[in-house]
Amino acid sequence: MVTLTRPEGSQDADFSPSRRALGAMFFAGYALAAVSAQAEAIHTDEAGLIAGEVAIPQADAPLPAYVARPDAKGRYPVVVVVSEVFGVHEYIRDLCRRLAKLGYVAVAPAFFHRAGDPAPLTDFGQIQKIVATATNAQVLGDIRAVLTWLKAQDFVDRGRMAVTGFCWGGAAVWMAAARFPEFKAGAAWYGRLSRPAKDQFLGDEDRPWPLDVVGDLRAPVLGFYAGKDKGIPLTDVETMRAKLRDARKKGDLIVYPEAQHGFHADYRSTYDEPAAKDAWARMLDWFARNGVKPGAKRGAFG
């Protein structure tokens, strides 16, 4: 079994000698490299929803994305869901359905589709190679394409949009909140805040990281972090808090002292149910308090 304890996945030292995976969960679409033998993953059905894959127009090639939304007339608020390193596997699709059940249009773009699908892989080196192809510029370009597509849909309230992301996607939330005024709120789950060392995963790309763009934030971000995360030092969390305060930007970071990286991922051994439920409730309240509240609007865009 693999235990993921870092923001973009595990290093070799984190892997246990046995690599057991649950066949049933793999065929259900879970990331094979991270499935815990003890996992009891949450499953959300599609009753009352319209859910499935769409192809979003993009300059080089259509961008696949999983979309879940209420099966009812009206314009609904949006949450863009940015995946972990494993891409749009079943956990991410289930999060979209959970949000759709609450009255959101949830969209999870497949940012790695140009290089492959990391979900079925067990070799983390191969996963890293796929993920590394998704540069910061490409990811932000893909998010722009998603926003353009969303604005053209008659089921979207384009005045109520938020973004959330997990692990690798948590860092992308901060970057998106600094780029796109369409987002009214962000929720970043254990995303890296500072640039990795040159010899570490994703350290080669010459790009800004969340701590570099605090002054540019256009939307308030709520970050969820783990006290036992091996990849994100709590000094980075404190630095981000200080930078938000100094820049007079609305935002906060919540630390769960006993949690590990990936504490919301119910298919992993690092799942921490109390922390996961508390953070999920805080995220929904954060969205609502910043104007991205569930519920359909009739008529013109809000």
Name the amino acid, one letter, at 262: G
CATH number at residue 251: 3.40.50.1820
CA-to-CA dists, residue 209 to 18, 66, 70, 139, 178, angstroms: 35, 26, 35, 13, 11
Residue 251 domain-assigned? yes
Answer whether 144's CB lies under 8 Å from 213's CB.
Answer: no
Q: How many separate domains does the chain show? A: 1
Q: Which residues are catalytically annotated?
A: 167, 229, 261
pTM for this one? 0.90
List, as one string, the DSSP characters of 199-259. Answer: TSTT-SS----GGGSGGG--S-EEEEEETT-SSS-HHHHHHHHHHHHHTT--EEEEEETT-
Residue 300 domain-assigned? no
pLDDT at 141: 97
User: Three-state SS for 178?
Assistant: helix
Chain position carrying tokens 């127009």? 57
CA distance 292 to 252: 17
Residue 3 domain-assigned? no
Residues 93-134: tens digit of each pLDDT: 999 999 999 999 999 999 999 999 999 888 989 999 999 999
SS3 letters across 87-153: CCCHHHHHHHHHHHHCCCEEEEECCCCCCCCCCCCCCHHHHHHHHHCCCHHHHHHHHHHHHHHHHCC
Residue 6 domain-assigned? no
Residue 2 domain-assigned? no
CA distance 215 to 189: 20
Sign of the dihedral through C-alpha 234, 269, 170, 182: negative
The parts of the chain modelled with pLDDT lower than 70 are 1-28, 36-39, 298-302
Residue 93 domain-assigned? yes
Residues 195-222: tens digit of each pLDDT: 999 989 998 999 999 999 999 999 999 9
Q: Which domain holds residue 243?
A: 12-289
Residue 17 domain-assigned? yes
Answer whether 296's CB lies under 8 Å from 70's CB.
Answer: yes
Please report, in angstroms and rounded to a whole number, the separation of the first and last CA atoms in the chain: 47
Residue 123 domain-assigned? yes
Q: Which of 77, 78, 268 is nearest to 167 (CA)?
A: 268
Residues 159-170: tens digit of each pLDDT: 999 999 999 999
